[in-house]
């Protein structure tokens, strides 16, 4: 399974329910990676989407502990166990965890690849992605040249879970 996120220098991902920054190339990369795939996210993340609607041309799975929560054009799972059972029917490489903070933390142990857009700036934030640079189970396997959008510098970085028994 994949994680996909844009983070700042401190691995922050959001503030007051909103993304920290909007970078068109990051949105293009996200769309290219997830189109036709399965996206998994929480209710609060759904509420940040345009018109609070699921993403088109993807299988949308929303995690919510509210047993009465329903979303048109999305599957709702009410626990991690229910979510994992639902995900069994899809190829692991086609599943993308897209947020927010609690979903990333809960799903991190089940994922083996992370697509991170790292922004070279520290924003005011209240939501964070787990810091993969400090996690010995993860290593950088690819990164782009630094890019800029106006005065915002960023890079696309791919992390992969270190395979047991591999030499680092």
**Domain range summary for the chain, segments of one domain joined by +:** 2-161
User: Which residues of the chain have a pLDDT value below 70?
Assistant: 164-168
Structure tokens at 41: 């996210």
Separation CA 58–CA 153 (nearest Å): 29
> Would you state the pLDDT for residue 165?
53
Residue 122 φ/ψ, nearest 5 degrees: -105, 115
Torsion angle in degrees (nearest 10) through CA of 7, 49, 34, 43: 80
Separation CA 54–CA 45 (nearest Å): 10
> Would you state the pLDDT for residue 168?
45
E strands, 8-112, where?
12-15, 18-19, 38-42, 59-63, 75-77, 95-99
At the fourth CATH level, the homologous superfamily of domain 2-161 is: Dihydrofolate Reductase, subunit A (3.40.430.10)
> Would you state the pLDDT for residue 129?
98
> Would you state the pLDDT for residue 163?
80
Separation CA 17–CA 59 (nearest Å): 23
Residue 89's SS3 state is coil
CB 31 within 8 A of CB 87: no
85-96 tens-digit pLDDT = 999 999 999 999
> Would you state the pLDDT for residue 141?
98
């Amino acid at each position: 399974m994949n994680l996909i996120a844009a983070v700042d220098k401190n691995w922050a991902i959001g503030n007051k329910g909103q993304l920290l920054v909007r970078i068109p190339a990051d949105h293009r990369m996200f769309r290219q990676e997830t189109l036709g795939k399965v996206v998994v996210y929480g209710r609060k993340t759904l509420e940040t989407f345009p018109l609070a609607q699921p993403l088109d041309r993807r299988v949308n799975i929303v995690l919510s502990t509210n047993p009465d929560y329903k979303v048109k054009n999305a599957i709702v799972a009410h626990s991690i166990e229910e979510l994992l059972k639902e995900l069994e029917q899809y190829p692991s490489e086609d599943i993308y965890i897209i947020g927010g903070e609690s979903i990333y933390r809960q799903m991190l142990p089940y994922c083996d690849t992370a697509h991170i857009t790292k922004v070279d700036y520290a924003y005011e934030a209240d939501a964070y992605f787990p810091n993969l640079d400090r996690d010995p189970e993860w290593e950088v396997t690819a990164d782009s040249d630094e890019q800029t959008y106006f005065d915002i510098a960023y890079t696309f970085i791919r992390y992969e879970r270190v395979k047991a028994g591999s030499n680092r």
